[in-house]
Amino acid sequence: MKTIIAGKNEAGQRLDKLLFKLLNKAPKSFVYKMLRKKNITLNGKKAEGSEMVQPEDEIKLFLSDETVEKFSESYVSPLVGQRPEQKENMKPAAIQVVYEDSNVLVVNKPAGLLSQKAKETDISLVEYLISYLLDTNSITLKELETFKPGICNRLDRNTSGLVAAGKTLAGLKTLSELFRERTLSKYYLCLVKGAVKEKKKITGYLLKDERTNQVTILSKQKENADYIETEYIPLKGNDDYTLLRVKLITGKTHQIRAHLSSMGYPIIGDSKYGDRAVNDKFKKQFKLSHQLLHSYEMIFPEGLEGELANLSGMKLTAEPPGYFEDILKACIERKGR
């Protein structure tokens, strides 16, 4: 038999969803069968699975240890157990913690690191975050049986900058809601080809090809295409290149990269939507192999309540990586406008 007393990361979710996390290798039909037969109970009573788990609720699984073990796959990070120097060797670059409290963690992701796994053998930002939380005793392996911290916004592999993660269920839920409702403002810096003279808000429709993982920007609505909005303002530049501050209003796959390219301002280094001749030049001169796009600022809305009230109106900033600054100096600041 296994007993779970609901804590802050178990309470506030449906019982069946909690059980699916705990028995993550079991068919859903098995979980519902065990509920029907009272082999899984909530506070000593039969449960349907739709009940919302409350703090201190007692969940009992009248199952053998072998059955629980068979249907439970414990989380083992590829970084857990590694020596510090081995962990460092596995990192493409140091991951900087920009902000942390008991519910939220915001980091500066380096270019070259996946936000989430694309395949089982990948090591992504999520693995580094969980490893960090284990190392700092912010979470235990036992707690990972029923709750896994996660990121709430994703950046392309070769885009650097701010990524927000929920350390607790409350953090994860609130952050996800802020991103979903677009009340959290996100700003990017990017270097583009061409002279951009004025601030502009652009709209369109984005159609994704799942097979090629590439998107097309359309001027008119089409089936399966998503409406998008992007706003940009030139910060400095010359006749050849411009540094833009971009506000991502909607957040779709490759939105900034494809939308700017459709306007005739491809991001430098972008292999999918950029200018090949320009990219070759920057690769030769600066050894640049990815887009110069950096998520540099997040501004939380005013009036947040509950456990994340301390984030109300907070502005978080991550400076661009050194190579970004070096290229700006060489291409813009030394030439002037």
The active-site residue out of 156, 226, 275, 326 is 156
Three-state DSSP at 161 gives strand
Q: In sequence order, what DSSP letters do the residues of 250-282 get, joined into one string?
A: S--TTHHHHHHHHTT-PBTT-TTTS-HHHHHHH
DSSP label at 14? B
**Residue 70 belongs to what H/E stretch?**
helix 65-71
156 is catalytic: yes
Q: In sequence order, what DSSP letters do the residues of 80-96 get, joined into one string?
A: TT--HHHHHHH-SSPPE
Q: Which residues have CB under 8 Å from 73's CB, separation 6+?
A: 24, 25
**Residue 325 belongs to what H/E stretch?**
helix 322-328
CA distance 254 to 292: 13
Three-state DSSP at 323 gives helix
Residues with a catalytic annotation lie at 156
